[in-house]
Structure 1
Amino acid sequence: EIGKDKSNVYRYIKKNNIAHTDVKERTLLFNATQKNTIVKGMSSSSNDDVAQRSQHDQHNEYHSEINNNTDQIIAAMQDNIK
């Protein structure tokens, strides 16, 4: 329904201490309010994931740029030594 893996949903429920209303066999059951809380929270955490990935990509891009500059400096110094 929300496009998330079941294990991620259960992890979210546990992390946020969302109590279930009943258990049927081995399945946790939630009322409509709890379900809406889970759906809303999982949807907003998607946005957080996107923001974190973007920040991570920017971080990697920055370090890649530094590594490229370092490689260029090392190559120039090696040329000077030769």
Structure 2
Amino acid sequence: MSAPVVMVLARWFWLRHRLWGPGAVAALAGSAAAFLVADALRPSPARLPADTLATETGLVVALVVFTVCSRLRST
């Protein structure tokens, strides 16, 4: 489920933004957030909603971290 979302985000990053530092930090933070949410929700019987929530959480965290790091770098 998360592979298409990650591929779209990676393509957006590659075409529009080539800020490698903020991109790396965002990728690590988003991955960690998605892993923690997925790990916490994995025992639930509804795996698809849990995986969807984990993917969305990781995506939002990655975008927020990328935005903040990009703003800090440009100032």
| Higher relative contact order (CA closer than 8 Å, sequence separation 6+) | 2
Taking structure 2 as the reference length, the TM-score comes to: 0.44
